[in-house]
Amino acid sequence: MNNINLRKKGNKFERIAKEYFRKLNYKIIDLNWYCHWGEIDLILEDNYDLVFAEVKYRSRDIFDINEVFTYKKKISLKRSIFNYLKENEDQDKNWRLDLFYITISSGDKSKLNFRHFKNILL
């Protein structure tokens, strides 16, 4: 699959995640925020906390945190988050990293399963 198709697929699942968070009354701050170090899929506000959300899709319903957050991905996310906080003068604000994990249902291939993991440690 080429990069353009992967980006289209990624955008589709990020829109699903955005709607999920919107229904939970999170405030959407930014979508696909980029810096030198990488990309943050969603930046949200939950009450007074900043939430950096990583959106992942897998075609199988098997969860492996080490596959989702490789060493390289952890470093990229940390640097990106700290860069965002510095650029927006939010260093004193409480923040967390959440994972929005989407898989295809093993029983019904037309159904998607969502899992929201809060406060992932890097």
Domain total in the chain: 1
pTM: 0.86
pLDDT-based confidence at 33, cuts 50/70/90? very high
Please check the confidence at residue 122 and state whether its pLDDT lies above 90.
Answer: no
Residue 16 resides in a domain: yes
Model confidence pLDDT, tens digit, residues 78-102: 999 999 999 999 888 899 999 999 9
Please check the confidence at residue 110 and state whether its pLDDT lies above 60.
Answer: yes
CB neighbour burial string for 16-51, b if at least 16 within 10 angstroms, e if fewer: bbbebbeeeebeebebebebebbebbbbbbbeeebb
Q: Which domain holds residue 8?
A: 3-117
Find the CATH number of the domain harbouring 94. 3.40.1350.10
Model confidence pLDDT, tens digit, residues 35-77: 999 999 999 999 989 999 999 988 777 777 778 888 999 999 9
Residue 89 resides in a domain: yes
Residue 122 resides in a domain: no
